[in-house]
Amino acid sequence: MRIEELPTPCYVVDEALIEKNLQILKGVMERTGARILLAQKAFSMYALYPLIGHSLCGATASGVYEARLGYEEMVLPLRAQGKLCENHVFSPAFREVDWEEILKYCDHIVFNSWKQVAKFGKSAKDAGKSIGLRVNPECSTQEGHAIYDPCAPGSRLGVTHGSFVQRMETDGQGDAAIEERDLLPLLDGLHFHTLCEQDADALEQTLDAVEEQFGDYLPQMKWINFGGGHHITRPGYDIARLERCVKHMQDTYNLTVYIEPGEAVALNAGFLVTEVLETGKNGIDIAILDTSAACHMPDVLEMPYRPPLMDSGEAGEKAYTYRLGGPTCLAGDIIGDYSFDHPLQEGERLIFEDMAIYSMVKNNTFNGMPLPAIALRKKDGECEIVRQFGYEDFKGRL
């Protein structure tokens, strides 16, 4: 079917646009030798994992379910075809009940603290896993998005320089204190993740801080992971500067460099097709859609973020301005104010852009809202519905 024939609301991911992003990322890998992984927390549409896995070096997870998904849908199939494909995981704290699964699914395991290294590191090493520690270089490069700043004061993410070199007490059971230097030989690499939708200048600034604080330890490591937040596939991104950063760490410390973009893999590669349910007026023209900011595009409220809308303008730019809102009871379920060349009609379809990332992975059924269908648009323009959801999906979560 064509995009105009799809049920609404519906996420549509464009295969050709995903491939375009993958070619950019693949070029970085080919020119530098860096290993780029899909961060599933941003985009987990596993129907595209075979395509992504053939271009990139694997996946990274933030929990046991993502780890299993990456393993089953990307790593195993590609390894069966003879391709080297890695599965990484990081968590602020691993649960003992999940640990055997983590060991089963993951090749690289990144810990958030020395206590976690002391608790799980030896068993991971004995299982042949590559072990990393997340560090916090205390170098904030965020502007206006403190919720996404892992280097904010009081952050729970990563070991600061002060904590890296101090003694660590054990779990209070009377054992002797453990020195970090006793655990250091367990580590194969260091990991940092400080960026959010940023260019390579922020990475360069962060690397300066990483070297200043942890440079003495880098020669002992096999790899360094730059984490995510790199908007590599955004028009105007400074790819040459990114590649210089990669080469610097390779040449200076003889390290393998990993990068974990999520957004960059699916940036500007997806849409959310919705329908106007009703129009009205309360000082401003209002249109109620069959999609919800709160339920179907949570970053609109959390970031906050104004998603691009096809064939629309800023408020007042075109002849007819509407406040677009969702059908939930939340007063703030507002997507934004947009203008159009014509008055909106009930039953008219609108298409939001850049809806592949942080949409499917974060949506919810608040108010009993149906989840949008998921469709894949092939290169010939034909759309295939990958998943549809109904009442049982809502009920099964409660």
Q: How do the pLDDT tens digits run along the chain, 398 residues long? A: 899 999 999 999 999 999 999 999 999 999 999 999 999 999 999 999 999 999 999 999 999 999 999 999 999 999 999 999 999 999 999 999 999 999 999 999 999 999 999 999 999 999 999 999 999 999 999 876 788 999 999 999 999 999 887 755 544 444 445 555 579 999 999 999 999 999 999 999 999 999 999 999 999 999 999 999 999 999 999 999 999 999 999 999 999 999 999 999 999 999 999 999 999 999 999 999 999 999 999 999 998 889 999 999 999 999 999 999 999 999 999 999 999 999 999 999 999 999 999 999 999 999 999 999 999 999 999 999 999 999 999 999 99
Q: List helix spans (H) across 216-307.
A: 239-253, 263-266, 293-296, 299-302
Q: What is the CATH number of the domain that holds 114?
A: 3.20.20.10
Residues 164 and 298 both lie in one domain: no
80: its two tokens: 């069966």
Bridge partner list, 191: 134, 225
> Which stretch of DSSP H or E encloses residue 213?
helix 200-214
The answer as to whether 100 is a domain residue is yes
Residues 141 and 43 both lie in one domain: yes
Q: Which domain holds residue 373?
A: 3-9+270-355+363-395
Residues 244 and 279 both lie in one domain: no
The whole model's pTM is what?
0.94
User: What's the chain's length in residues?
Assistant: 398
What pLDDT score does 137 carry? 97
Residues 275 and 390 both lie in one domain: yes
Residue ending a domain, among 226, 251, 266, is 266
The answer as to whether 15 is a domain residue is no
The answer as to whether 336 is a domain residue is yes
Q: Contact, 377 vs 383, CB < 8 A?
A: yes
What pLDDT score does 181 carry? 59
Residues 48 and 185 both lie in one domain: yes
The answer as to whether 257 is a domain residue is yes
Quote the CA–CA distance of 88 and 275 in Å, as a whole number. 39
CA 117: distance to chain centroid? 25
Residues 92 and 212 both lie in one domain: yes
Report CA-CA distances (Å) from 74 to 15, 28, 53, 273, 385: 17, 21, 6, 28, 20
Residue ending a domain, among 232, 266, 300, is 266
Cβ atoms within 10 Å of 145's Cβ, excluding its own? 12
The answer as to whether 139 is a domain residue is yes
Q: What is the CATH number of the domain that holds 319?
A: 2.40.37.10
The answer as to whether 325 is a domain residue is yes
- Please state the domain count of the chain: 2
40: its two tokens: 């599933």
Q: State the amino acid at position 337 in one-letter form.
A: D
What pLDDT score does 172 carry? 46
Q: Is the dihedral of CA 174, 168, 154, 61 positive or negative?
A: negative
Residues 44 and 81 both lie in one domain: yes
35: its two tokens: 């290993």
Residues 295 and 342 both lie in one domain: yes
Residues 262 and 274 both lie in one domain: no
Degrees, nearest 5: CA angle 123-125-128: 115
Phi, psi of 13 (to 5 degrees): -105, 130
Residues 258 and 303 both lie in one domain: no
β-pairing, 35-36 vs 38-39, is unpaired
Quote the CA–CA distance of 153 and 226 in Å, as a whole number. 21
The residue among 351, 353, 352, 322 whose CA lies nearest residue 338 is 322
What pLDDT score does 167 carry? 53
CA R_g for the chain: 23
The answer as to whether 26 is a domain residue is no
DSSP state of 370: P
What pLDDT score does 147 carry? 86
What pLDDT score does 145 carry? 74
Phi, psi of 156 (to 5 degrees): -90, 0
Residues 258 and 276 both lie in one domain: no
Residues 138 and 235 both lie in one domain: yes
